[in-house]
Structure 1
Amino acid sequence: MTEPLRGNCHCGNFRFEITSDSSSTPANLGVSICACSLCTKLGCLWLPVDPDDFAITRDTGTVTTYRGLVFCKVCGTAVTGKHVGGPLQGQFLVNARAVAGFNPFQLGNNDDSQQRQRQAPSPMPVTGAEQDPVKHRGSCHCGNVSVELLVGLDELEIKEDNCSSCVRDAYIGTYPSKEQVRIHGRVHTFEYRYGSKFNGIAHCQTCGVVVFTTVYGPPISLFDRLPAERKERALAVYWKNMALQPVNVRVLDGVDLSTLTIQTTDEGAEGYVLPP
């Protein structure tokens, strides 16, 4: 008997199986792209599934719904959806990013490059003495959490990887300093920390969108174990990282991702173990 596709939110509180197509593997899933504002911010890659072929294998009550989207309130992973409008209206959909073994970097022309190209064009820059110090504005979908970037993306590194968490969040990070960012609505987020807990991923409590992350780093006492020369170098990196305020590029208004230089790291989910 062919094994079903299995998937889960990152923390494992919600798990599922799909038995619709015995020939499907995580590498050849055919996904649908939705360019609505919610799917654009979430970066979801939707897999249309017959509800009869979808089985929930664990549900500890941590999922919630926003406009047809179902996401976990612990780790923020978007798992399923039912579109209320557009070409996918009424279809039951599974976020392929939550399927175990799924790698968006291996989808070729079937990845979210289409989604990147279909976003709104970048706004015209403001010139003159009254130029707005804010270079980019963005927010989660419901608007409870917002961000203002005081530096242009052309001055910053932009990175994307496919670790077990980032692949589920579709996270594309840029790394300004704390002085270059204004964040509003932190009180409306929930934070997910896992593994070493050196970073915290902030999701909107209402719509689940990741707007920013927080760098915590290791305990500074850890560096006391290092030889003096190594300690000096390690602390320099530590303080540099601690000064950062990472932001999810997907939430920025009017940014066409297809025009950006994004450094991708195909590291996969090595080390990720689904909790029992």
Structure 2
Amino acid sequence: MSSGYHGNCHCGRFRFELTGVEITEAIVCKCTLCAKKGYLWIRPITGSFNVTRDEGSLTSYKAPTLTDQFCGHCGTGVLGEHSLGSLNGQQLVNIRAIQEVNPFKLGSSIHVAAPDDERPLKRISESSPALHKASCHCGQVQAELLVPITDLEIKEDNCSSCVRDAYIGVYPTKDQVKIHGRENTFEYKYGQKFSGTLYCKICGVTVFRNIYGPPLSVFDKVPADRKERVMAAYWKNMAMQPLNVRTFDGLDLESLKIERTDEGTEGYVLPP
């Protein structure tokens, strides 16, 4: 049995400890919000969950099946309480926010909550040329992908940020995507700030990311025989509009070819 786990949102404004348990599997709920956020839940036993820092950053969002608490600064989902099904009324902790657990190596048990199809979404027009449509849970942030997703690379890793977002990325170019509701998001950037993750201000779901890249001055010292190739890769990267595959409507993740990289969170330093 583990002596204890340490968890936190990515920015560290909310931190907790979990003791007296050993995490070998997770509860996976199939309700819409849990699916879009990729939540992996554990039910802590009485007295095992203790908050060690709370700077008041948690935002609460109430869906038909789940009351969700996520950090309003970095977007990490931390706590939840279902209102339906076998998990009704139980406090749940998002395993993805725990430092010592690799979600790629967990088993899972499935909990199917009641459907919540009556979400008041502002739907994209049916006349849209989009081949795939994506949205946050409350519908305030949406995206259209104008090319087949099977024509694109789909990637998932477990870096310190992606593991907390359960992010599965697809990387079309900006002219292959239409974004709706950018004004309804907040952005989180960290480290060198070469990219930013956008979260819905209301429900906390991330539909897309922004890429900023390093300043062009960093390429001044690249040898001439490599510069053309390096700059071509840079401009290709800058032309991308990453989307979170988990937010695509009606998409079966099991049917997709997803390249998974178990890179871990080495280099991530929790702020003091």
Query: Structure 1 residue 132: deviation in Å?
Result: 5.4
The one-letter code sitting in structure 2 at the alignment partner of 1:258 is E
**CA distance in structure 1 between the partners assigned to 2:144 and 2:128 by the alignment:** 11
The residue aligned with 2:118 is none
Give the structure with the larger strand fraction: 2
Match of 1:91 in 2: 90
* Cross-structure match for 2:105: 106
Please give the alpha-carbon distance, in whole angstroms, between the structure 1 residues aligned to 2:102 and 2:156: 12
Q: Where in structure 2 are the equivalents of 1:28-43 lying within 5 Å? A: 28-43=23-38
Alpha-carbon distance, 1:86 to partner: 2.5
Q: What is the Cα-based RMSD across aligned positions, in Å?
A: 1.9
Alignment of 1:1-276 (within 5 A): 3-21=3-21, 24=22, 28-50=23-45, 52-67=47-62, 68-107=67-106, 109-110=107-108, 133-276=129-272
State the Cα distance separating 1:51 from its structure 2 match: 5.0
Q: Provide closer, same or farther for how the CA distance between residues 39 and 228 of structure 1 changes in structure 2, counting only shifts above 3 A.
A: same
Q: In structure 2, how many angstroms separate the alpha carbons of the residues matched to 1:213 and 1:229?
A: 32
TM-score for the superposition, normalised by structure 2: 0.89
- Structure 1 distance, partners of 2:143, 2:8, is 29
Q: What is the deviation of 1:2?
A: 6.3
Q: Which 4+ stretches in 1 moved above 3 angstroms?
A: none
Distance in 1 of aligned mates of 2:101 and 2:148: 32
3-state SS, counterpart of residue 56 of structure 1: strand
- Using a 3 Å threshold, how does the CA distance of structure 1 residues 259 and 105 change in structure 2: closer, same or farther? same
Q: Given that residues 51 and 92 in structure 1 are in contact (C-alpha distance below 8 angstroms), is that contact kept between their aligned partners in structure 2? A: no
**36-45 vs 96-105, greater mean Cα deviation:** 96-105
Shift of 1:231: 1.9
Which amino acid in 2 is paired with 1:97? Answer: R
Is the 8 Å Cα contact of residues 50 and 92 (structure 1) preserved in structure 2? no
Sort the Cα spacing of 1:78 and 1:35 in 2 relative to 1 into closer, same or farther, 3 A: same
Aligned partners of 1:29 and 1:47 also within 8 Å: no
- Distance across 1 between alignment mates of 2:127 and 2:181: 25
Deviation at 1:87, TM superposition (A): 2.4
- Name the CA distance, whole Å, in 1 between partners of 2:41 and 2:184: 27
Residue identity matched to 1:254 = G
Deviation, 1:131, is 8.4
Query: What is the TM-score normalised by the length of structure 1?
Result: 0.88
